[in-house]
Chain A
Amino acid sequence: GAVVSQHPSRVICKSGTSVKIECRSLDFQATTMFWYRQFPKKSLMLMATSNEGSKATYEQGVEKDKFLINHASLTLSTLTVTSAHPEDSSFYICSAAPPSGALYEQYFGPGTRLTVT
């Protein structure tokens, strides 16, 4: 299957600081990438859909000013958690959809564990 990477895999930051998470599609160009959040022992919650060259579409209840998404190229999307608080601690996972037009075949990154102290 397609390969999607995330960096960093783990990050610990202090409350009030910002942290950037990168998502890269390594062997295909992804016009659409997705960002999910997953709480312990829970399913994935879609945060936003990131489209290359345009603004991200955020799900209801997700603060776009807090979770900044940039999809500057066909292989890279970034999620910046601004002014992080302990409640932002979570497992963040990105996925990318190959440009076959089939939204349903998303390939996931390995996730980033964010801990805000």
Chain B
Amino acid sequence: TQLLEQSPQFLSIQEGENLTVYCNSSSVFSSLQWYRQEPGEGPVLLVTVVTGGEVKKLKRLTFQFGDARKDSSLHITAAQPGDTGLYLCAGARNNDMRFGAGTRLTVKP
């Protein structure tokens, strides 16, 4: 059983569309990270959220940490083909960090 559930697993959209990816758990995390991974490469850290209800923006990406620190969302505005990749969330708690299964995003030109 995955500690962190990500949805959707796969998402294929057209350039210019908006999308939201979710990361949910029944556990409380001290922090949550979002990573993006391209094929054949290691994950790249996008953002870390620590405070319940926190919202962080990174250009067209908006990250939100749930009030109870059990879930998070990633919203991409006006997606571009360069956004294509595997988006992974990872939660840290009790000196341990676990990854979700990832959302594979494809943005078609």
Contact = CB atoms under 8 A, between A and B. Distances in A.
Interface of A: 1, 4, 6, 41-44, 46, 91, 93, 95, 102-111, 113
User: Chain B at the A interface: mostly helix, strand, loop or mixed?
Assistant: strand
Contacts, number: 55
Interface size class of B (residues with CB under 8 A): 20 to 34
A111 B40 contact: yes
B45 A107 contact: yes
Given A41-B104, A43-B88, A43-B102, A106 B97 contact: yes
Point out which of A6, A42, A105, A109 has the most chain B C-beta atoms below 10 A from its C-beta: A105
Nearest to B33: A104
5 contacts: A43-B101, A104-B33, A104-B48, A105-B45, A107-B45
B65 interface: no
Contacts of A106: 33, 45, 90, 97
Nearest to A40: B39
Given A104-B31, A108-B44, A110-B42, A44 B92 contact: no
